[in-house]
Amino acid sequence: MKKCLIKIIRICSITTLPALAAVLITMSPVLAGTDFGVISTEQLKQFVDQKQEMILIDARTPAEYQEAHITGAINIPEKQFEETKQQLPATKDALLIFYCNGVKCGKSKRVAKLAQPLGYTNILVYSEGIPVWEEYNFPLETGPGYGKKIETAKLTPGELNAMIKADDKDFVLVDVRDEAEFRKGHIPTAICIPSEIFATKSDALPKEKKIIVYCNTGSRSYLAYKKLIGLAYPRIYQTLFADWKDASLPVAR
């Protein structure tokens, strides 16, 4: 991908931005099960910074859009497609970029499929979506509900230990501290996905399983928990490494 970006940057110096969009579509990987190209976070930010002519489309629900959306995006939800499709441009070769709640969310792909039969020929999907955009601290338009405190579903050390001892296959335990902390000691069976790149790496987490996040005292795992909500994971839990150690339970290294 880095080599691809270098080529795009060089092309940009000798061509127009609309032509750059066409080049990007031909160079992008194709989203599985579709003929749509995929645009990365870095490429989309480059388009935004260079004021590329495009229509950025948030395919999530109106409530999600109102809470926070990428600056300049319009909202065309799947269930309200017929009522909202008039926002699409009359020009059929306009660049349309669809996004939703990340790589495990299918809304952007489904809405793009609804738009394609209308004759649009330049469609990209920003599959990493708003969770990764937000993780990079790129521009968002936010509503009054953004940043609202939530209550997490918590697991006690005893409950988690019982799940581990039973060799329960229905959960993934994620240590969201940094890798150095993880190497010094972690709860057995845990994988490490640091909180600052949690959304970026979330494609490793299966949506059909419980996802349990933890850090030392709760602040970083709370942020990861909120990201999982945004990524539409249905079963999310939080536990604390400090409580685990206080209970004298085993620590893996």
Give the active site residues. Answer: 215
Output the DSSP codes for 118-155.
GT--EEEEETTHHHHHHHTT--EEE-TTTT---PPPB-
Selection from 88, 108, 93, 87 nearest residue 39 by Cα: 108
SS3 38: strand
Strand partners, 252: 186
CB neighbour class for 253 (10 Å; exposed up to 12, middle 13-18, buried from 19): exposed
> Structure tokens of 84?
């909202």
74, 58 contact by CB (below 8 A): yes
Buried b / exposed e across 44-57, counting CB within 10 Å, b at 16+?
A: bebbbeeebebbbb
Strands 122-126 and 140-142: unpaired
CA distance 123 to 93: 9
Q: What are phi and psi of 228, to 5 degrees?
A: -65, -35
